[in-house]
Amino acid sequence: MIKEYDVVIIGAGPSGTACAYNIKRFHPESKVLLLDKSDFPRYKPCGGGVSPEVQNYFDFDIESGIDSVCDEVVMIANGKNITSKKFPLWMVRREKFDTFLLDKAKQNGVDFISSCEVIDIAKSKPLSQVLTKAHGDFLTKVVVIAEGGRGKLAKKLKISVENTVLAALEYEHYTNKLDGKLYIDFDYNDSGYAWNFPKSDGLSLGIGGFIKGQDKGNIGLPKQLLNYSNKFNVDVFDKKNLHGHPIMLYSGRQKLVHDNIMIIGEMAGCVDPLTAEGIRPAIKSGYLAAKVIAYSIKNNKPKTLINYDIAFHKEIGKEFYYARIMSYFLNKNLKRILPMISRESAINSFMSVFSGKSTYQEKINFKKIMQLIWKSLF
């Protein structure tokens, strides 16, 4: 007999675990199944910079799942260093952090199956069927797709979101030569930035760049990252620690609820288009979906699932709209604008948004930006 659930969540990254945990938190009687094709702990290419604001989406102490706290950020542009020490950021190792969140979900009563790849979803009312490669099928009232930037299911079902794709490369350099500082460097790439995110046992070195038309697959990131890594005494890459991964940036309002199928996390385009921050928004999208799902199941009101669409655009999309405009201006004029915003006040504003102390809506002054662009032209 096919097993039946209230909710099946596909993907146990931060969005999936936040969703699973919070559904049980808001509706403890619900039957929730979480599936992931990987075996945990699993590596995920990521700088691992997390805003402490994520604590708002859980009722347990999340700090015990992090690797370290970084309280000095250095931005580098045109060889000039600007430091911000006002806004501490959490650093996480994803293999540890994601497993920590997964364990919390399991302790809260969520069923979990690892090494369980979902290959299809047969959409139907009132129950949809989730088909897996090796663990049989499941019937469920709600399906949540939390498959991350490399997922294939939403595409297969033709409900995927159109995102702007950023190519990214990450190198994990394990060392004890550490200064504890986080570096963001604009001098190594014309359409993005390079980063060094410190961990207690090494450095997560990375670089990101936009994929444009015929450049696809050939934007020279490995060479740029190696040049950058030389700064931190890395002369050759140990291939097993080098990981490429696309990042799906938010690119405008799109449909995330399709009857009883919902999309959360990066597959929903839930990544800040200016900074490529994805963990906090993924967790927030999981939390918002959980609230809506718990209500819908508790009150047997499937039609209310659509409220996730509304909540997402109110709580996340609106903020990303501002980030998108900023990103557009910066990308068009990066070389001209950078010298003008290379100031402590600018990096403090940026860090206050990243750390969750303020919002883009509060910090962005479009009149000032237009003046900067105008000034940069003449």
Ligand X SMILES: Cc1cc2nc3c(=O)[nH]c(=O)nc-3n(C[C@H](O)[C@H](O)[C@H](O)COP(=O)(O)OP(=O)(O)OC[C@H]3O[C@@H](n4cnc5c(N)ncnc54)[C@H](O)[C@@H]3O)c2cc1C
Rank residues 126 and 180 by Cβ distance to ligand X and give the closer one.
180
* Residue of 49, 192, 198, 317 that binds ligand X (CB under 6 A): 49
Instruction: Give the dihedral sign, CA 369/373/374/378.
Output: positive
Rank residues 48 and 202 by Cβ distance to ligand X and give the closer one.
48
Rank residues 245 and 253 by Cβ distance to ligand X and give the closer one.
245
Q: Is 323 in the site for ligand X (CB under 6 A)?
A: no
Q: Is 48 in the site for ligand X (CB under 6 A)?
A: yes
Which distant-in-sequence residues (6+ apart) come within 8 Å of 81 by Cβ?
Answer: 74, 75
What whole-number distance in Å separates Cα of residue 143 and Cα of residue 146? 10
Rank residues 49 and 273 by Cβ distance to ligand X and give the closer one.
49
Rank residues 37 and 141 by Cβ distance to ligand X and give the closer one.
37
The answer to whether the beta carbons of residues 258 and 159 sit under 8 Å apart is yes
Q: Is 117 in the site for ligand X (CB under 6 A)?
A: yes
What H or E segment, with its residue span, contains residue 348? Answer: helix 344-354
Which two structure tokens, joined as six digits, stand for 329? 């201006």
Q: Chain-centre distance of CA 108, in angstroms? A: 23
Q: Is 16 in the site for ligand X (CB under 6 A)?
A: yes
Q: Which of 163, 160, 110, 113 is nearest to 261 (CA)?
A: 160
Is residue 170 packed enough to be buried (19+ CB in 10 Å), middle (13-18) or exposed (0-12)?
A: buried
Q: Which stretch binds ligand X (CB under 6 A): 36-44, 76-84, 105-113, 366-374?
A: 36-44
What H or E segment, with its residue span, contains residue 244? Answer: strand 242-249
Q: Is 65 in the site for ligand X (CB under 6 A)?
A: no
Rank residues 46 and 77 by Cβ distance to ligand X and give the closer one.
46
Q: Which stretch binds ligand X (CB under 6 A): 47-55, 154-162, 184-192, 217-225?
A: 47-55
Considering only residues 166 to 225 of the shown chain, the ones binding ligand X according to CB under 6 A are 168, 170, 197, 206
What H or E segment, with its residue span, contains residue 98? Answer: helix 94-107
* Residue of 15, 260, 296, 307 that binds ligand X (CB under 6 A): 15
Within 10 A of 41 (CB to CB), how many other CB atoms are there? Answer: 15
DSSP string for 145-199: E---TT--HHHHTT-----EEEEEEEEEEE-S-----EEEESSS-TTS-EEEEEE
- Which x/- pattern, by CB under 6 A, does the window 218-257 give for ligand X? ---------------------------x-x----------
Phi, psi of 46 (to 5 degrees): -175, 140
Q: Is 160 in the site for ligand X (CB under 6 A)?
A: no
Q: Is 121 in the site for ligand X (CB under 6 A)?
A: no
Q: How far is the CB of 335 from ligand X (least distance, A)?
A: 24
Q: Is 45 in the site for ligand X (CB under 6 A)?
A: yes
Instruction: Point out which residues bind ligand X (CB under 6 A).
Output: 10-16, 35-38, 44-50, 117-118, 146-149, 151, 153, 168, 170, 197, 206, 245, 247, 265-266, 271, 276-280, 282
